[in-house]
Amino acid sequence: MKSLKKIPRYFKLLGLLCLIISLVVFQPPNLFALNQNEEIELGQKVHSQLAAQSVFFDDPIVNEYFQKICQRLMKAVGKQPYPYTFTIVNSNFLNAFAVPGGFIYLHTETINSLENEGQLAAILAHEIAHITSRHFARRSDSSRSNTLLSLAGLLVGIALSTSGGSGGQNTAALGQAILMGTTGASIQAMLANSRADETEADTKGRNYMIKAGYNPRDMYGAFKIMNEQSYPFTANIPGYLSTHPGLAARLASSFADQQAAPAAPFDASYQHIKDRVLALTAQPNRAMTLFAKRLAENPNDDSALHALGLIAMREMSYSQAEDFFKKALSLSATSAEYLSDFGELDLKRRRPEEAAAHFQAARKNGLTNMQTAVGLARSYELIGRIKDASDLYEQIAKSPSAAYPVALELAGRFFGQHGQLAKGHFLLATFFEATGKPKDAIFHCQAAVKDPQGYNYRKKCEQKERDLTALNED
């Protein structure tokens, strides 16, 4: 008999989906009458499973930009009964979705398709409104079952459609088929109610946008793009329309007054973020063709040059990446982002002194995010400046690092190697928790408590272990 470990991942995930379907179909309807605590628990479990499939896009520069928009919107929304978690999913189809308990996800292809920050804020505001309106909880019992079935299919489908494993294109196609089937079946059952929910989310989301200082015309612009770009994909993979029905009708009615509004001005900052996302996620040949075309039109397009450097670095063509980075910096010498990425390239080329200089310059120019902190700490560690590295890792350990979990891993390993075992184990537990590996996280929690210095982490570890055990049971 084959070992379970040798079974392809997509068969394991299909088994998981079948189990969830059986629970949805054969359990009494009242089982899915979700209260608020159950919504939070469901959201946490879905998030943990998605994290375990390594589908999150965790670039620190993009995430910092993204989280600032989310925080701006949440300030406009006001106090909520639980914290919201916003995550970018590395996926090449157009979508955004909300899961009960305050979990909101945006696909990288959606970032690539929109035109400005306001349009991105519009999509996020709409998803926030679905949760603040508790649309999941307001379903009838039968619709709740369909909603959970849809979530189950979404979870497995995303994992497969973004899979880079041995299944290759067949695995991705299988994931797309699951997504089409599960979301299609459940959305048909909830169609009438969902259209009413969509209209309510439009109204609330638009109000959140206005309160946050965004132009409401950007909601019309965002939905127009989603409507136009979703249709070409519906034959193969689910677009935004499959989970947000009635969009064309809503554009003609709810947003009719905005059709005549002038087009939004060019957003250079957003274009730069789009270039970065495309360079880090798209097929290299596709991305290189787009940026080469831009350079043919404007040889001084520093963002396109830098993006080509990022692609070359992905492809491990380090000399070529350095050439592109140097050209981009010659046009924008104080770009903190360009300097920071140059530091990353230096580390890959085993040049820690040059890396430290680039990271220091990036921080001097205002980029004090997790990438520069971790990069500089790694550089100092390699140079032998252990005290300086330790100081930076201390800062990293105290920062919210869930959006860049590798920072927690590196800090944990550093402290473990330098005699602070309890702190190292606790940080590694937090890293494994953030990446959806509860068993590994529990192991490191227990190791932290066993260490003679572990009393400082006992309460935190015990609580984390209880939470992770409950999460792992299901």
Q: What is the pLDDT of residues 22-35, one digit of tens each?
A: 444 444 444 445 67
222 in a domain, yes or no?
yes
pLDDT exceeds 80 at position 66:
yes
419 in a domain, yes or no?
yes
pLDDT exceeds 90 at position 455:
no
152 in a domain, yes or no?
yes
Q: Which two tokens stand for residue 82?
A: 């639980």
Q: Which of 34-48, 87-101, 140-154, 428-442 has the highest mean pLDDT?
A: 428-442
Q: Kindly state the average pLDDT of the residues 317-321.
A: 97
Instruction: Decide which of 233, 258, 283 is a domain's last residue.
Output: 258
Q: Which of 18-22, 254-258, 375-379 has the highest mean pLDDT?
A: 375-379
Instruction: Decide which of 258, 290, 318 is a domain's last residue.
Output: 258
275 in a domain, yes or no?
no
Confidence of residue 368 (pLDDT cuts 50, 70, 90): confident
Window from 186-195, 249-258, 358-367 with minimum mean pLDDT: 186-195
276 in a domain, yes or no?
no
Q: How many CA atoms lie within 13 A of 197 on its CB side?
A: 23
pLDDT higher for 401 or 373?
Answer: 373
pLDDT exceeds 70 at position 71:
yes
pLDDT exceeds 90 at position 48:
no
387 in a domain, yes or no?
no
Whole-number Å distance between alpha carbons of 368 and 441: 28
pTM reported for the whole predicted model: 0.83
pLDDT of 2 reads 44
pLDDT exceeds 50 at position 131:
yes
The mean of the pLDDT values for the chain is: 81
Residue range of the domain that includes 469: 400-474
Q: Kindly state the average pLDDT of the residues 196-219.
A: 90
pLDDT exceeds 80 at position 150:
no
pLDDT of 464 reads 84
Whole-number Å distance between alpha carbons of 239 and 232: 9
pLDDT exceeds 60 at position 10:
no
> Which DSSP state fits 262?
P
Whole-number Å distance between alpha carbons of 284 and 314: 9
- CA-CA-CA-CA torsion for 218, 224, 229, 230, nearest 10 degrees? 110
pLDDT higher for 187 or 421?
Answer: 421
Q: Kindly state the average pLDDT of the residues 271-299.
A: 95
3-state secondary structure of 105: strand
CB distance 297 to 151 below 8 Å: no
Tell me which residue of 126, 119, 105, 127 sits closest to 225, measured CA to CA. 119
Window from 6-20, 369-383, 451-465 with minimum mean pLDDT: 6-20
User: What percent of the chain clears pLDDT 90, i.e. is strictly above it?
Assistant: 49
356 in a domain, yes or no?
no
Place of tokens 């990069």: 375
Confidence of residue 69 (pLDDT cuts 50, 70, 90): very high
pLDDT exceeds 90 at position 140:
no
288 in a domain, yes or no?
no
Q: Which of 85-94, 234-243, 340-349 has the highest mean pLDDT?
A: 340-349
Whole-number Å distance between alpha carbons of 336 and 256: 42
Strand partners of residue 88: 106
CB distance 120 to 69 below 8 Å: yes
> Which DSSP state fits 31?
G
Window from 132-146, 190-204, 317-331 with minimum mean pLDDT: 132-146
How many structural domains are present in the chain?
A: 2
Instruction: Decide which of 258, 289, 311 is a domain's last residue.
Output: 258
pLDDT of 39 reads 80
Whole-number Å distance between alpha carbons of 107 and 57: 9
pLDDT of 440 reads 92
pLDDT of 21 reads 46
